[in-house]
């Protein structure tokens, strides 16, 4: 069986230089462990805010490590050193603008500065690359969406669409734990379940 391969990249000058402990990679790994019911493997990278290094790492994870999904965290704001989206677009075959739109819509429920985010998502070869925010709390909110106090989803998290996107890119079947995030697929793309 084709195991889901996920690349995780934390982009931070200070964490890459050992000035402080990176929080992005542990937060992403912990969230994926809770959310995915499908077996998966992870490749982790910590890089400084250098466009050429980010591009090189994205290409390595897609072209050499054959990751089906690559999630980046950090470097998506308007500051001069925030170049993650620029690096992502530079290695892209196609852009997926709906992801960036949805991420900003989710974040606007929590902070007005969400409009400053330049997060993008792209396809490179048969891989989906998504830029996520840098803070663990924001990563979780972006992936899961906005939930009411009773747990009902008010604004869909972006991960609800990721399994179907990977399926369309001819990657492995991906299932999630609905209590964390429910994967959405059109009826024509769903598997029959024996219930």
> Mind listing the pLDDT tens digit of every residue in the chain (195 residues)?
589 999 999 999 888 888 888 999 999 999 999 999 999 999 999 999 999 999 999 999 999 999 999 999 999 999 999 999 999 999 999 999 999 999 999 999 999 999 999 999 999 999 999 999 999 999 999 999 998 888 888 999 999 999 999 999 999 999 999 999 999 999 888 886 543
Residues spanned by the domain of 124: 4-189
In a domain, 175, yes or no: yes
Please give the pLDDT value at position 195. 39
At 142, is the secondary structure helix, strand, or coil? helix
Residue 62: is it exposed, middle or buried by C-beta count within 10 angstroms (0-12/13-18/19+)? buried
The number of distinct structural domains making up the chain is 1
The count of other CB atoms within 10 Å of the CB of residue 13 is 14
Q: Distance between CA atoms of 52 and 58, rounded to whole angstroms?
A: 10
In a domain, 195, yes or no: no
In a domain, 184, yes or no: yes
The CATH number that applies at residue 17 is: 3.40.980.10
Checking DSSP bridges between strand 69-73 and strand 127-132, what pairing results, if any? Answer: parallel
Q: Distance between CA atoms of 143 and 54, rounded to whole angstroms?
A: 22
In a domain, 194, yes or no: no
Task: Give CA angle at 144 (93, 177), nearest 5°.
Answer: 100
In a domain, 177, yes or no: yes
Please give the pLDDT value at position 152. 84
At 177, is the secondary structure helix, strand, or coil? coil
In a domain, 168, yes or no: yes
């Amino acid at each position: 069986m084709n195991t889901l391969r996920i690349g995780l990249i934390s982009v931070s000058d200070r964490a890459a230089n050992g000035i402080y402990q990176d929080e992005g990679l542990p937060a992403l790994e912990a969230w994926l462990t809770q959310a995915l019911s499908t077996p998966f493997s992870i490749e982790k990278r910590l890089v400084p805010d250098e466009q050429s290094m980010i591009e090189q790492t994205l290409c390595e994870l897609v072209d050499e490590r054959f990751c089906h999904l690559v999630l980046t965290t950090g470097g998506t704001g308007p500051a001069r050193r925030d170049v993650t989206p620029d690096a992502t677009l530079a290695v892209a075959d196609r852009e997926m603008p709906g992801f960036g739109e949805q991420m900003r819509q989710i974040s606007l429920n929590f902070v007005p500065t969400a409009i400053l985010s330049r997060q993008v998502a792209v396809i490179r070869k048969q891989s989906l690359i998504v830029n996520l925010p840098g803070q663990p709390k924001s990563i979780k909110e972006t992936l899961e969406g906005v939930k009411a106090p009773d747990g009902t989803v008010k604004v869909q998290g972006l991960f609800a669409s990721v399994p179907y996107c990977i399926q369309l890119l001819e990657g492995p079947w991906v299932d999630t734990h609905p209590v964390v995030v429910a994967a959405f697929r059109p009826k024509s793309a769903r598997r029959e379940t024996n219930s």
